[in-house]
Amino acid sequence: MSRCSLFYISLLVLVLRYSVESCVQRHVQAQVPEKLQAGYVVSKVNLDHCGFRQLYLVSNDPDFAVQTDGTILTADVITVPDDGKSFWVLVQDQRGHKWKVNHKVLQRAKRRWSPLPFNIRENDKGPFPKDVERIASDSSVNYTIKYSIEGPGVTTTPINLFSVDSINGMLRVNFAVDREEYPQFIFTARAFDRYTNQEKDLPLPITVNVQDENDNAPQFSSPLIFSVEEQSNPGTVVGQVNATDRDEPNTPHTSIRYSLLNGTDLFAINYDSGLITTRTGTLDRETQDRYFVRVEIKDMGGAPNGLSNQGLASIFLTDINDNPPTFKQSLYTAQVKENQANVLVLRIPVDDKDLKGTPNWKAVYEITKGNESGNFLIRTDPATNEGLLYVAKPLDREKQELMKLELMARNEAPLVRSSSSWKKVPIELTVTNEDEGPEFSAPILRLKVKENVPNGTLIGTYTAIDPETKSSKGIKYYKVTDPGSWINVMETTGDLKVANTIDRESPLVYNNTYNITVKAVDESQKTGTGTVLILIEDVNDNVPIIPKPDLVLCSRDGQRSSILVNAVDYDESPYSGPFTFELSKESEGKWKIKDPKPGTSVVLEQVVDMPNGVYKVPLLVKDLQGVGEEQIVSVHVCECVKEGECAAQRISSRLGVWAVLAMLLALLLLLLLCLLFVLVCSTKGEKLRMTDEYDGTGGMLLKSNTEAPGEEVKDALLVTPGSGIDGGGAMEHQTVVGAAGGALGQQAIHAGSMYQGGTQGYMTNQSMYSTGQYGGGFYGNSSYNKFSDMSILDTWRTNELYLDNKLVYFGEEEDGRFAADLLKSYGYEGVGSPAGSVGCCSVLSNQDSLDFLDSLGPKFRTLADVCMSKTERGEQ
C-alpha cells in the first residue's frame, strides 16, 4: 500500500511549570508515514507567543532533531511502530525557565475506497437501468472482490432504486425519482472475497445526490388580505406577499419575482421582496373601501422559461376621521314653556361619512353661545347620533322671550388629514308664557333682632309680587315653618311680628340664627316660598351659675384643703365672663377665696380645720356687667379613698350588696312569721251593721270570703261554745262555727259585737260543741255562761229572728230570683287542688291539745287564706 504525506497536528496551550506562564504548547501530535527518511519534517513547536526571548530547544530522542525555530526533523531513516513513537522537547529561556513539550508520532491511516459522492437527475427520462458510477475497493488488488449495497433506495424505501454490478462495482439507477421527496440517498457498499465470502475492506458509505430541475411553480404561503389607512401618503406599506418554491433553495429555480397585473396606478410591489406599498395619497374609504389587485409570482428570476402563479389580493381601506359631522339644517327653532326643567326641547340630527359606530363617527355636541347661565344641557343619542337639547334650569319669559344659542358638533376622535373644521349651527328658542306663582323680593331675607323683645314687636316685612303683573295686590302670606312659634306673619301685609319670647340660648337657635319659612299665595292659588333668617342679638338675660354645686373636699391631717368651683354663663361676651366671686359674711372665718381674680372659676379654701360633714357655702357670682346672684355650694368634707370620692361613700357602695341581702333575709323572716300568724290566729270579722225594722244594738252581719260551701255547710248550724271569761259586764266569749248568708267561718262574740276569728280563740277545758237552729232559743241547745247585761241577749235574739226569716225567704225564692244578694249554691272548686276541700278542717280531732298547729298542711293554709280579711292579706 502507498504512503501519503498527510500530517495531522493538534496543539494545546498549557500552564507552564513552576507557576510561570508557558509560551509553547504542552503536547504535539503528528501523523506520518510508516517509514521516514532522514531530514523528514515531522512537526513544529509553535514559538509565536514567546516574544523576543532567546530560547534553547533540545530533544530527548536522538532520532529527532529540533531547530531554533521549533521545527522537528528526523535525524536518520526511521520506521514508525504501529502504536506510534513518543518523545519530548525541552524548551529553556535565558532566565532558566523550562517547559517540556510532549510529542507523539503516529502511523497515518490507510486510504479509503471511492469516497466521493455521486449525482443523479430527478425526473430522468431514462432509459433504465442507467449507469451512475463505478465503485472499487483497494483490496481488489490482492483479492477477487464482489460488491453489494444496502440501505435507503436499495433495501428500504424506495426499494431497488439503486443496484450494483457485483463483479465490476458499477452502480446503476433503475427508475426516475423526485428530488422534492428524496433529495439525497446515503447507503452502504461492502467488498467481499468472491471465494471465501470474507469482507476484505471496511463498509463504505455511498452518497448519491438528486440534482434538481425546475419542476415546481412558486406558491403563495400566506393569505392575500391587507389593509391600509385611507388618505395614506405614497410609499405607505400595505402588506407583504409571501411565496415559496419546492425546488432546491438558493438556485434560480427558487428565485421568485413579484409583480402586479392591475392597480399599478394605486399600488406598487417590490419585485424581489413582494412588499406592497401605496403609490398615491388619494385613497378615500368613503369613495371605495376595498381594492382587488392581481399578484403574479414567477421563479427563475422572472425569466420567460420560469414557472409562475397568480393570486387576487384584497386591500381594505381603514377609516380615519377625515369627515366632520355636518348639520342637516342651517337654523333650528323650537318653543319651550317657562318654569320647566329637565325637558327635552329639540333633537338635532347630523351626517357623518366616517365609519358608523367608531369614534370617527360618534358626535359630541357643545353649546358655544347663549348658555352662560347654564339653563341648557346637550347630550348625544348613542343610537342615532343626534344631539338632544334639554332645559336644565327653568326659563323666565318675563326676563327673556327669545333664547339664541349656537351649537357645535365634533367627533370623539380629532380630525386627521382633512382641511375641514367642526361645524356650528344657530338655535332659536321661543319661551312661552305660563301663569307663575308669587316671587318674594328676596329668596332669603335676613333680619337682626335682639332677644327678649316684647311680643307684638314688628321686626320686618317680607312681601312678594306677581311676575306677570309686577304687583303685590291680592297676595296673602302664611307661615310654613316656625319651630318655636316665635313669629306671626300678617296675612295681608307680610309684616313679621314677635309672637313669643325670642331666646338666643334656645336649642332651636343655631349659630345665633333662627329660620322660618313664609308662603305667598296669589288670587289664582299659585304659591311661592321664601326663607327668613333671624339673626338674634344677645342681651344680658342670664346670670352666671355653678353647674355642679355639690363638691367633695378631701380632708388631710395637718393640711387644709381647697376645691375648685366653676361657673358658666350662657350669654355671650360682654355679658358673660370673666366672673367675680364673693363670699357672704357668714362664711368669714370658715372659708376664703384663694387668689380672687376675675375668671370662670375660683379656688375655695378652708380657713380653719373643720370636722367631716356637709357645709353650705353661699357664694355670689357676677358677670362682666356686675349682674349675678348668690348661690349655695354644698361642700362635703370627708376622708377620701381617692380625689373627689369619700371613703364612706365607697364603703357604702361596697356594703350595698350585703345590705340588700340582709333586707331580703329580713323580709323572708317577716313573711314566714306572718304565715305562722295566719296559721295559728283566728280570723277577725269585719263589722257590717244590720239595718232592719228591729233596731237592736250591737247586731252585726258577718262577711265571708268563701266562694264554695264546705262539707260542713248543711241545714243545721254547728255552734261550739267556749269557756266564759268574765269581761266586766260583757258576755263571755263563745266560739261559733256555722253558716249564715252563704258565709263560712268561726265567730267570737265579745260585749255585743261579733268578729270573725280563727280556731285559736280563748278556749278552755269547759269548751264544748253543739248544733242547732237559731229558733230554739239563743243558739238552740247551746249552754250559756252568765251575762252582765241581758239587753245584749235581746239584741241577738232579734237578729236571730231577722236572719232566720231571711234565710227561709232566700231558700224559697232561689230558683225564681236573680238578685245580686241571692243565696247561691256554688260548684265544688277543689278538684285537682293539693289542699282539696277546706271543710274537713272544721272537725278537730284533738280538742284539748294545740299540737296540731305545729304540722299544719296546705288544707289549713287555704282555709286561713279564705278567712283572712283583705287588709290582713295586704289587699286594698
What span, in angstroms and rounded, lies between the C-alpha atoms of 153 and 162?
6
Does residue 411 have a pLDDT over 60?
yes
Specify whether 247 is located in the same domain as 363: no
Looking at residue 201, its pLDDT comes to: 87
**What DSSP element (H or E) covers 206?**
strand 204-211
**Per-residue pLDDT averaged across 549-576, rounded?**
84
**Per-residue pLDDT averaged across 28-34, rounded?**
72
Task: Enter the C-alpha cell of residue 488.
Answer: 306671626
Specify whether 798 is located in the same domain as 693: yes
Does residue 764 have a pLDDT over 60?
no
Handedness of CA 574, 575, 576, 578 (dihedral sign): positive
Residue where the block lists cell 363638691: 551
| 652: in domain | no
Task: Enter the C-alpha cell of residue 165.
Answer: 454490478
| 462: in domain | yes
- 22 versus 231: the higher-pLDDT residue is 231
Specify whether 604 is located in the same domain as 694: no
> Following DSSP, what letter does each residue of 514-527 receive, concatenated?
EEEEEEEE-TT--E
Q: Do the Cβ atoms of 403 and 306 come closer than 8 Å?
A: no
The winner for highest mean pLDDT among 87-96, 312-321, 665-674 is 312-321
**What DSSP element (H or E) covers 677?**
helix 647-680
Task: Give the residue from 233, 223, 315, 347 showing the smallest Cα distance to 282.
Answer: 233
Domain count, the chain: 7
| 661: in domain | no
Q: Which stretch of 522-531, 594-603, 771-780 has the lowest confidence by average pLDDT?
A: 771-780
The whole domain housing 153 covers 118-211
| 874: in domain | no
What span, in angstroms and rounded, lies between the C-alpha atoms of 396 and 402?
10
667 confidence band (pLDDT: 50, 70, 90): confident
Q: Where are the beta strands (DSSP E) in 483-624?
A: 487-489, 495-498, 513-521, 527-537, 550-554, 562-566, 580-583, 591-594, 601-606, 613-622
Angle between helices 858-867 and 647-680 (to 10 degrees): 90
Q: Do the Cβ atoms of 451 and 539 come closer than 8 Å?
A: yes
What span, in angstroms and rounded, lies between the C-alpha atoms of 859 and 835?
4
Task: Give the residue from 306, 213, 321, 183 showing the smallest Cα distance to 255.
Answer: 306
For 284, list phi and psi in degrees, rounded to 5: -125, 120
Q: Which stretch of 121-125, 559-563, 644-648 has the lowest confidence by average pLDDT?
A: 644-648
Does residue 661 have a pLDDT over 90?
no
Specify whether 314 is located in the same domain as 337: no
Q: Which stretch of 327-331, 421-425, 459-463, 583-587 has the lowest confidence by average pLDDT?
A: 583-587
Strand order in the sheet with 290-298: 225-229, 308-318, 290-298, 257-260
Looking at residue 866, its pLDDT comes to: 62
Looking at residue 290, its pLDDT comes to: 96
What's the mean pLDDT when you consider all of the chain? Answer: 77
Looking at residue 397, its pLDDT comes to: 84
Task: Enter the C-alpha cell of residue 198.
Answer: 470474507
Q: Do the Cβ atoms of 169 and 136 come closer than 8 Å?
A: yes
Looking at residue 857, its pLDDT comes to: 59
Q: Do the Cβ atoms of 428 and 335 come closer than 8 Å?
A: no
Does residue 234 have a pLDDT over 70?
yes
Q: Which of 638, 673, 698 is the last residue of a domain?
A: 638
Q: DSSP code of 238?
A: E
Task: Give the residue from 125, 132, 123 showing the smallest Cα distance to 173.
Answer: 132
Query: Residue 709: CB partners within 8 Å, gap ≥ 6?
Result: 739, 742, 744, 825, 826, 839
- Count Cβ atoms below 10 Å from residue 446 Cβ, excluding itself: 12
What span, in angstroms and rounded, lies between the C-alpha atoms of 58 and 395?
120
Task: Enter the C-alpha cell of residue 234.
Answer: 405614497
Looking at residue 680, its pLDDT comes to: 65
Specify whether 513 is located in the same domain as 574: no
Looking at residue 844, its pLDDT comes to: 46
Q: Do the Cβ atoms of 795 and 698 come closer than 8 Å?
A: yes
Q: In Å, what is the CA distance from 304 to each residue of 257, 299, 307?
A: 12, 9, 8
Task: Enter the C-alpha cell of residue 273.
Answer: 421582496
| 457: in domain | yes
Specify whether 526 is located in the same domain as 618: no
Q: In Å, what is the CA distance from 785 to each residue of 273, 722, 775, 778, 805?
A: 156, 9, 19, 12, 27
The winner for highest mean pLDDT among 6-10, 155-159, 616-620 is 155-159
123 confidence band (pLDDT: 50, 70, 90): very high
Q: Which of 211, 232, 257 is the last residue of a domain?
A: 211
Task: Give the residue from 163, 158, 159, 160 showing the smallest Cα distance to 179.
Answer: 158
Looking at residue 738, its pLDDT comes to: 36
Strands 458-461 and 444-450: unpaired
Q: Which stretch of 125-134, 212-221, 817-826 has the lowest confidence by average pLDDT?
A: 817-826
| 804: in domain | yes
Could you report the per-residue pLDDT of 696-720, keeping only the tens digit for each?
444 444 444 445 444 444 444 333 3
What span, in angstroms and rounded, lies between the C-alpha atoms of 711 and 747?
18
Q: Do the Cβ atoms of 475 and 466 come closer than 8 Å?
A: yes
Q: Which stretch of 489-498, 624-633, 863-872 has the lowest confidence by average pLDDT?
A: 863-872
Looking at residue 98, its pLDDT comes to: 79
| 662: in domain | no
Specify whether 348 is located in the same domain as 454: no
Looking at residue 140, its pLDDT comes to: 80
Looking at residue 869, its pLDDT comes to: 56
Specify whether 445 is located in the same domain as 588: no
Does residue 58 have a pLDDT over 70?
yes
Specify whether 356 is located in the same domain as 379: yes
Specify whether 203 is located in the same domain as 348: no
- Count Cβ atoms below 10 Å from residue 337 Cβ, excluding itself: 15
- Count Cβ atoms below 10 Å from residue 672 Cβ, excluding itself: 10
pTM score, two decimals? 0.42
**Per-residue pLDDT averaged across 583-596, rounded?**
81
Specify whether 846 is located in the same domain as 768: yes
What span, in angstroms and rounded, lies between the C-alpha atoms of 538 and 587?
35
Residue where the block lists cell 497515518: 108
- SS3 string, 770-823, reads EECCCCCCCCCCCCCCCCCCCHHHHHHHHHHHHHHHHHHHHHHCCCCCCCCCCC
Specify whether 686 is located in the same domain as 770: yes
Looking at residue 67, its pLDDT comes to: 82
Q: Do the Cβ atoms of 368 and 318 come closer than 8 Å?
A: no
Q: In Å, what is the CA distance from 617 to each residue of 563, 601, 631, 649, 821?
A: 12, 15, 8, 21, 69
Does residue 655 have a pLDDT over 70?
no
Q: What is the end-to-end Cα distance of the chain in Å, rounded?
A: 153
CATH number of residue 514's parent domain: 2.60.40.60
362 confidence band (pLDDT: 50, 70, 90): very high
Q: In Å, what is the CA distance from 22 to each residue of 18, 19, 93?
A: 10, 9, 11
Q: DSSP code of 386?
A: -
Q: Do the Cβ atoms of 64 and 32 come closer than 8 Å?
A: no
Strands 25-32 and 444-450: unpaired
- 833 versus 775: the higher-pLDDT residue is 833
Q: DSSP code of 156?
A: B
Q: Which of 537, 559, 586 is the last residue of a domain?
A: 537
| 629: in domain | yes
What span, in angstroms and rounded, lies between the C-alpha atoms of 40 and 71?
10
Q: Do the Cβ atoms of 395 and 336 come closer than 8 Å?
A: yes
What span, in angstroms and rounded, lies between the C-alpha atoms of 264 and 279?
8
Amino acid at 673: L
Task: Give the residue from 291, 167, 178 showing the smallest Cα distance to 238.
Answer: 291
Q: DSSP code of 840?
A: G
Looking at residue 854, its pLDDT comes to: 55
